[in-house]
Structure 1
Amino acid sequence: MAGRTLIIIGLIGILDFIFLLLVGGGINFGTLFPAGAGILLVAWGYFKLKIQYSVHERSSWYSMFKRFEKIVTLFIMIWLASFIWIVTLIFMSAHPTNKVDADYMIVLGSGLHDDQLTLTLLERLNTSIDYLSKYPDLPVVVTGGKGFGETISEAEAMKKYLVEQGINKERILTEDQSTSTMENFRFSKDMLLKKGEKEPLKILIVTSDFHLFRAKLLARRIGFEPTGLPAKTPIYVLPNLYIREYFAVVKSFLFDR
């Protein structure tokens, strides 16, 4: 790939990071990765141009550079193929579910500002409310512990919001100890089994559209029979969230058991 092209692609990644900061996208892996990759691409493109114009093609330095470039290109192509495959799976899982035969709905937490719901969590809860209003016999588990900078647990804030929106508090179970998606399901299952429920439990997962594939993957590992109900995500942050979720899926494939 030509040096100038690498520099242009790198600058796009850096500008993407700046844009997301300006619109309040926050600093996370999904926003930092394009910036980091962009800086590396700009540096690589500049170095490539420097080599091209200052080193003779027959020199040993040029030969070493070309071999190294082939290795890097191969690595990038393998990574890109895996990225496209996993993102396709994520995209295909992000579709709504009609009425399903579920024993429980499980709404996954997504952080608070002090005791206030984030926009992502608010979208998940509003999606769950629409469904719960249509099917008043379906109980719901809200799951999420108290994280850094939060004054109450996510589950407590979620239950409070659902009750304020007219969902009967007797329908709502709270799991307020988990700190990850895997723990969301593991602790929720333990709680339901202690209530006397029998396996296998059929659950309807409510989470963000980009998160649904991994959520169902982990729920199956825990022993649930999951279906999904995706909450929408603003389109301008989706590319970065897909990047972050790609790495989260790889981590879950390998380590979340």
Structure 2
Amino acid sequence: MIRNHSRNVNVLKRILVMIVIIFLLILMWSGYVLWKINSVHSSDASQPAEVGIILGSSMWGDVPSPSLKERLDHGLKQYNEGKFEQFIVSGGLDQPEFNFTEAEGMRQYLLDHGVSDEVIVMENEATSTLENLQFSQLIMEQRGWTSAIIITHTYHGMRSLEIAKFLDYAHPLLSTTDSKVLSMPYHKSREILAYSKWKLDECLLRLGFKSLETVNNPT
């Protein structure tokens, strides 16, 4: 009876030690990712790129959300400064009942701010950052474009640039804007989870256990 009690206590101690170790590892990883998120900087775009890829964010009904407007306004600033010549606006349908995809809402916003429709290309299917960049890359290949600036929020820049490099973008540049409308504690916490998922997916992709199709469309 005493021996059984002692064994149970030892097992419980081991379980508690494992829980503490796992918690500390998660805490260390989260701190490392947060440091990477906070360390991201826009690329030094001394030479203009052919295309600026604005990564989608949520729509509010028929119009871009305030956070998406921040990305669009930053893209407009970069375009007006001559940093790139063409837009790719990337993002699919947020909700089945919505009338417009993110890309359609973004295109209209750019048109309303004086951009010619001739320099805007829509990518209407993406539902993730990986798809944003993968599908935009296909558009670039079809049009013979080789250089791109990725436009997004600062907290989202590190993962976006890593994905672009994984997809073999040729020297991708990054241009980010801070947000005045989003809660950074919330969105950075979400980004830590999203980045962790991406690193797992990247590992499985490199090892051949997944393909881009299965990552984009998990069963």
Q: TM-score range by the shorter chain?
A: 0.7 to 0.9
The corresponding residue for 1:173 is 121
Flag the 1:235–1:159 CA change in 2: closer, same or farther, 3 A: closer
The corresponding residue for 2:88 is 141
Flag the 1:229–1:243 CA change in 2: closer, same or farther, 3 A: same
Flag the 1:235–1:164 CA change in 2: closer, same or farther, 3 A: closer
Amino acid at match of 2:21: L
Q: What is the distance in 1 between the residues matched to 2:23 and 2:180?
A: 28
The corresponding residue for 2:205 is none
Amino acid at match of 2:22: F
- Verify: 1:240 aligned to 2:186, yes or no: yes
Q: What is the distance in 1 between the residues matched to 2:194 and 2:23?
A: 19
- Equivalent pairs counted in the alignment come to 195
Amino acid at match of 2:174: G
- Verify: 1:111 aligned to 2:61, yes or no: no
- Verify: 1:154 aligned to 2:99, yes or no: no
Say whether the 8 Å CA contact 2:84–2:149 is kept in structure 1: no
Given candidates 162, 169, 173, the residue that maps to 1:217 is 162
- Verify: 1:122 aligned to 2:69, yes or no: yes
- Verify: 1:183 aligned to 2:131, yes or no: yes
Q: What is the distance in 2 between the residues matched to 1:239 and 1:65?
A: 35
- Verify: 1:255 aligned to 2:201, yes or no: yes
Percent identical among aligned pairs is 25
Q: What is the distance in 2 between the residues matched to 1:235 and 1:122?
A: 10
Given candidates 10, 16, 30, the residue that maps to 1:83 is 30
Q: What is the distance in 2 between the residues matched to 1:81 and 1:137?
A: 39
Alignment deviations for residues 122-167 of structure 1 (CA, whole Å, 9 cap, x no partner): 1100111111111176211111111214221111110110111112
The corresponding residue for 1:206 is 151
CA RMSD of aligned residues (A): 2.2
Flag the 1:250–1:164 CA change in 2: closer, same or farther, 3 A: same
Q: Secondary structure at the match of 1:247?
A: helix
The corresponding residue for 2:173 is 227
Unpaired stretches in structure 1, ≥5 consecutive residues: 1-58
Say whether the 8 Å CA contact 2:53–2:149 is kept in structure 1: yes
Q: Secondary structure at the match of 2:176?
A: strand
Deviation at 1:233, TM superposition (A): 2.1
Amino acid at match of 2:30: F
Q: Secondary structure at the match of 1:145?
A: coil
Say whether the 8 Å CA contact 2:164–2:172 is kept in structure 1: yes
Unpaired stretches in structure 2, ≥5 consecutive residues: 203-211, 213-219
Q: What is the distance in 1 between the residues matched to 2:182 and 2:117?
A: 35
Alignment deviations for residues 41-60 of structure 1 (CA, whole Å, 9 cap, x no partner): xxxxxxxxxxxxxxxxxx75
TM-score by length of 1: 0.69
Higher share in helix = 1
Larger Rg: 1
Higher relative contact order (CA 8 A, sep 6+): 2
Q: What is the distance in 1 between the residues matched to 2:182 and 2:174?
A: 23
